[in-house]
Amino acid sequence: MDGGRASLNIPARARISSGPILTQFRRILPWIIPLGFLALFYFYPLIKIVQVSYTRSPAGVGASIWEALNSPLLLRVTWFTFWQASLSAFLTLVIGLPGAYLLARYDFRGKSLLQALFGIPFVMPTLVVAAAFYAMVGPNGWVNLGLMTALKLEDPPVVLTNSIYAILLAHVFYNTTIVLRVIGDFWSRMDSRLVLAARSLGASRWQAFRRISLPLLSPAILAAALLVFIFDFTSFGVILVLGGPRYATLEVEIYYQTVGLFNLPLAATLSLLQLGCTLALTVIYTRMSARVSRPISLQSSRSSMHQLADWRAKLTAGVILIILFILLTAPLIGLAARSLTRFELERGERGEPERGFTLDFYRELGINRRNALFYVPPTTAIGISLGYAGLTVLISLLVGLPAAWALARDRQSTLNRVLDPVLMLPLGTSAVTLGLGFIVALNQPPLDLRTSPLLVPLAHALVAFPFVVRSLTPALQSIRPRLRQAASVLGASPAHVIRRIDLPLVGRAVLVASTFAFTISLGEFGATALIARPEYPTIPLAIYRFISQPGAMNYGQALALSTILMIVAASGMLLIEKLRIAEIGEF
């Protein structure tokens, strides 16, 4: 750019002299804030975790981990984490594969709507999911109510909460969409004539699937299975709430050790173990997903979607879709419906309960009833959550915009290629670990944030940070350098260019990023569970409390609050999708 100016015969005074040092400084400048943020609130806490774990056994972290694993309790915890994740992933695959096939090969009315619907579970906050399953298969859930009325029973016959079944169901609910998308997308790019060729050579449909489709699909199946496994491995809210006290994964155990037993060194050790496993899994996954993006047919496959021709195809498709629909949308619908109905007596009430539609639970949310110490009315929790969410948006944008700008500017530079994955690190770290890090690191001056209202938003911003950067970078990348050059030739200083050219163009992306940060903050549970002070709960924490307490009114309020959170989260995601699509359309 400067060379251009020199050749335009502009007087030397007007040229911006920028020697190499200034250019280097300018290059590094935007990185200072985001890297500083990560250093203070991610790396420093992690280092502290290692340090605290050290205090447990002076022989070193490795020895500490080894010792922890040798304890039968913790061995059991680690084993449970692995096998529940494996079983969940397996079940998700089994349920998702037929659906993936259907979506990959067939076209039918309402297909895109269904695909959108099936994606909703994935973005739901964990407490919403937990409450939804309580509303479906809990002791007062729809399934039991139905069975009790139909079979005239006194006690609920099918109680899946506080059991492994609820955990598995919730995991399948969450992650089926991953299978549908990853495998479905891959399958649709596989030449459909390969199966026809096999059948013309004498293979039955099953043989063609086993010998041709399955081997060719295996990279996608493995990648999807591994991704689902990683999500189930690091699952926290679902296990904590739906599993009950009997079931603990590494994440849940970290929580118990920190909040219940104050055994920070052990919690730290477990965190490192968890981190190590997740890191290894993520590395394996990245290798695998590279293979998934390679084309698998020798020629480019013509897109060939079939119609559902005969009644047999329609019937099979119908069955698959109904099962998926029930599994993936019924819990959320059931949650909303259950929050509006009352079927049982409150403690202390006599006589017949008024059955039916009611807004009592929602009304109760607004009432300021103080029944116990540290009890906070729900409206306060909502206000706190909103406040935290707002702060999260501000912090994320403050930190994320410079990072995205730097990434967008010199895409290919080595600095960028090294720092880009660094920015994504919080994504691969469990929220519980992040929370633990805050506890052990931010408790001394100059960073004593224990009583600061910024503590929780900082944690939320850390979780949201990768999403914010990922939303902003493409928009910033799309600003053509010519526009900025044109502005600067016309006399705009660099600051002016940013204000008048860059910012309006990224307005929409900023909106998307803000919505991300806002929605993530509202629904965040893992880190918040560790660091939030009891008298300042967020919505998910309030829901957790309500669910843990007996009584119809508490149960109802939990469901009502969850429904509200569900609607907000869904709206947030819908807004993001709409904004994103409009953006793509623009370019």
The dihedral formed by the CA atoms of 325, 326, 327 and 332, expressed in degrees to the nearest 10: 100
Cβ atoms 57, 64 nearer than 8 A: yes
Binds other proteins by CB under 8 A, chosen from 191, 251, 253, 524: 191
- Whichever of 308 and 394 has its CB closer to other proteins, that residue is 308
* Binding status of residue 159 toward other proteins by CB under 8 A: no
- Whichever of 59 and 197 has its CB closer to other proteins, that residue is 197
* Binding status of residue 211 toward other proteins by CB under 8 A: yes
Binds other proteins by CB under 8 A, chosen from 71, 149, 204, 304: 204
Distances (CA, A) of 302 to 190, 200, 205, 223: 9, 19, 21, 24
Residues 263-282 that bind other proteins (CB under 8 A): none
Nearest distance in Å: CB 388, other proteins: 51
* Binding status of residue 297 toward other proteins by CB under 8 A: yes
Nearest distance in Å: CB 228, other proteins: 24
- Whichever of 28 and 197 has its CB closer to other proteins, that residue is 197
Of the ranges 38-46, 161-169, 234-242, 293-301, which one interacts with other proteins (CB under 8 A)?
293-301
Binds other proteins by CB under 8 A, chosen from 65, 95, 198, 441: 198
* Binding status of residue 296 toward other proteins by CB under 8 A: yes
Neighbouring CB atoms inside 10 A of 401's CB total 23
Measured at the alpha carbon of residue 218, what is the angle toward residues 217 and 224, in degrees to the nearest 5? 95
Binds other proteins by CB under 8 A, chosen from 149, 207, 316, 444: 207
* Binding status of residue 58 toward other proteins by CB under 8 A: no
Q: How far is CA 506 from the centre of its chain?
A: 24
Distance between CA atoms of residues 232 and 238, nearest Å: 9
Nearest distance in Å: CB 97, other proteins: 19
Distance between CA atoms of residues 252 and 266, nearest Å: 13
* Binding status of residue 288 toward other proteins by CB under 8 A: no
* Binding status of residue 221 toward other proteins by CB under 8 A: no
Binds other proteins by CB under 8 A, chosen from 3, 11, 202, 550: 202
* Binding status of residue 194 toward other proteins by CB under 8 A: yes
* Binding status of residue 439 toward other proteins by CB under 8 A: no
- Whichever of 208 and 558 has its CB closer to other proteins, that residue is 208
The DSSP H or E segment spanning 521 is helix 503-523
Cβ atoms 262, 436 nearer than 8 A: no
* Binding status of residue 200 toward other proteins by CB under 8 A: yes
Binds other proteins by CB under 8 A, chosen from 12, 109, 262, 310: 310
Distance between CA atoms of residues 48 and 528, nearest Å: 19
* Binding status of residue 291 toward other proteins by CB under 8 A: no
Binds other proteins by CB under 8 A, chosen from 50, 117, 216, 327: 216
Distance between CA atoms of residues 36 and 181, nearest Å: 36
Q: Which position has the token pair 């998702």?
A: 96
Nearest distance in Å: CB 191, other proteins: 6
* Binding status of residue 11 toward other proteins by CB under 8 A: no
- Whichever of 13 and 302 has its CB closer to other proteins, that residue is 302
Residues whose CB falls within 8 Å of the CB of residue 327, separated by 6 or more in sequence, listed in order: 95, 172, 173, 176
DSSP state of 16: P
Binds other proteins by CB under 8 A, chosen from 12, 298, 373, 490: 298
Of the ranges 72-80, 133-141, 190-198, 499-507, which one interacts with other proteins (CB under 8 A)?
190-198
- Whichever of 117 and 296 has its CB closer to other proteins, that residue is 296
The DSSP H or E segment spanning 142 is helix 142-151
The full DSSP string for 291-350 is HHTS--SSSPPPP-PBP--SHHHHHHHHHHHHHHHHHHHHHHHHHHHHTTEE-SPPTT--
* Binding status of residue 299 toward other proteins by CB under 8 A: yes
- Whichever of 198 and 464 has its CB closer to other proteins, that residue is 198
Classified as helix, coil or strand, 153 is: coil
**b/e for 217-239, b at 16 or more Cβ within 10 A?**
bebbbbbbbbbbbbbbbbbbbbb
* Binding status of residue 309 toward other proteins by CB under 8 A: yes
* Binding status of residue 105 toward other proteins by CB under 8 A: no
The full DSSP string for 99-136 is HHHHHHHB--TTHHHHHHHHHTGGGS-HHHHHHHHHHH
The full DSSP string for 351-412 is SPPPPEE--HHHHHHHS----STT---HHHHHHHHHHHHHHHHHHHHHHHHHHHHHHHHSTT
- Residues of the shown chain interacting with other proteins in the complex, contacts defined by CB under 8 A: 191, 193-194, 196-204, 207, 211-212, 215-216, 296-299, 307, 309-310
